[in-house]
Structure 1
Amino acid sequence: MINDTKKDERAKVFDSIYAANVGSYLGMPVYLPNGKLFGTVCAVDPKPYAFTKEEMETIERLSSVISVILENAFTSSYNEVDDKLIRLEKLAMLGQLSAGLAHELRNPMQSVRGFVQLLFEDQKDNHFRDIVLNELDRMNQLVSDFLLATQPTAPKKASCNVTDIVSETVELISNEAILHNIEISFSYELEELTVYGDRAQLKQVILNIIKNGIEAVGQNGRIQIDARVSLSKEEVVIEVRDNGSGIPLSIMGRIGEPFFSTKDTGTGLGLSIAQRIMQEHNGRIMFENQDGGTKVSILLPLNR
């Protein structure tokens, strides 16, 4: 009974071959990294043909090449998943750390700040007092950045005009730009480019991008900001271009990763915070090297 079943199956296979007008067939299996059969590399001729040894070896080599390509593809996918898991673990660990440290650090810093002001109260030259107070304020801001990167506050969303937000941000940072002799220009397609979001958080994103541009161009640089509606008419696009040296391709994939920074004094949290805010607003940030600088595109859903 079993032999009869096998004969029937074999007959069906040969019937299929005859129906497909296959006179000659040469095939080599292709296996996945886990040993599972993926498929075959085959050569078919409608007429009976005796394949040569060289042709058989060619099919075998093709099978090996495809197996290697599949193995690399699977390894790459696994590495990407592992990389994302590592980033999530970093954020989770950072969240636990920052939440505990915020309370422990801020209280003594406020006490130190108060004592410093009292100690220098009667002195005419308050240069050293100002240095200490500025450093304490910087430490406090750093703690705030840790908290914002790992436990961001829920955005208080409302309809807001991107043109106004960018204009206010440029005005806010204009003194720093003048200090470095950097020219910042802003142009917009429409006076009303409305999005639905948290005005303060969106301003922080734009401020972060412009600050990075200022650091990238150095003295006598240029930063051009443009705001417009996307070609799809679905998004507002804010483009920030600088004439700096661009972003090395080797680190392009790590932009926005917590603690990753190319600056000597950077914490690597600025762009991480910006990307987290954009996620909360269903938006995105894209980085692109151009001839003579970098273009950063901030995209937000258009509020109709």
Structure 2
Amino acid sequence: MTYATLKRYLLIPLLTVAAILVSRNCVRAQSDNEGLDLSIELVDPKVLRVCADPRNLPFSNEKGEGFENKLAELFAAKLQKKIDYMYFPQATGFVRMTLGAHRCDVIMGFPQGDDLVQGTNPYYRTAYALISKQNSGLEDVKVLEDARLKGKHIGIVAGTPPATNMAANGLMVNAKPYPLMIDTRVDSSAEAMISDLNKGAIDAAILWGPMAGFYAKKANPPLHVTPLVNEKTGPQLVYRIGMGVRRADQNWKRLLNRLIQESQPEINKILFDYGVPLLDENNQPITAETATKSP
């Protein structure tokens, strides 16, 4: 065996040992830092930079009054980070101008399956809901095909999934549409719809669950909310909601997934306090008694 060959054979085991040592050191480092080195993913790893709408209750506003603000505060405390917001109206261009432009690192609420961002594990499940006044005769309506809705003036945000269900059930003739694409800094379709319901301008309203629950709870007297989980025609109206991050931010996503799992009872409590109609995987409502428990 030549010297060159011997040298090569000796080098292979040495490289193998070195590789094992490096691997062990990496594992040890991952154990110490939980494998989540965010320095190459986040612009400022010491700050929780949140993408949010400046005027879109119950989700967020500049005063920090929304439930997504409270969730961000919860996560910032757990991460021992400062919190900073990049506010932009949640309309066309929201993702591009915030998360996509690296001006923030997480969207606190994003529907599972939307391919604009990379989603975390979902942390709540809810549905579009029918809102009616107490003693209106519509409180126990559970599906849009119910005959009691025929001829009723129903508020609906144009272009949302339940509009298709309403059309399939012949309810659009007397419907009152509200705009989907608005500048939330100056307008709110949800507030306008609830105002019309309270004034009697419409007989019922259909809103995304968190909005339905929030505004129904604020009304005096409170309004009745029925999640539409039993629809047989049109698109499904039940969705899982997680957080949105950039596609390249794998470690950041894993860290958020872990925090979601560990914090689920606290998350549920915040959502329930805002009236969000929470649903389990069997479409059964999560009550105040179960809101502080993990699903």
TM-score range relative to shorter protein? under 0.3
When the two structures are superposed, what TM-score results if normalisation uses the length of structure 1? 0.21
- More contact order relative to length (CA 8 Å, sep ≥ 6): 2
- Which structure has the larger Rg? 1
When the two structures are superposed, what TM-score results if normalisation uses the length of structure 2? 0.22
Structure with bigger helix share is 1
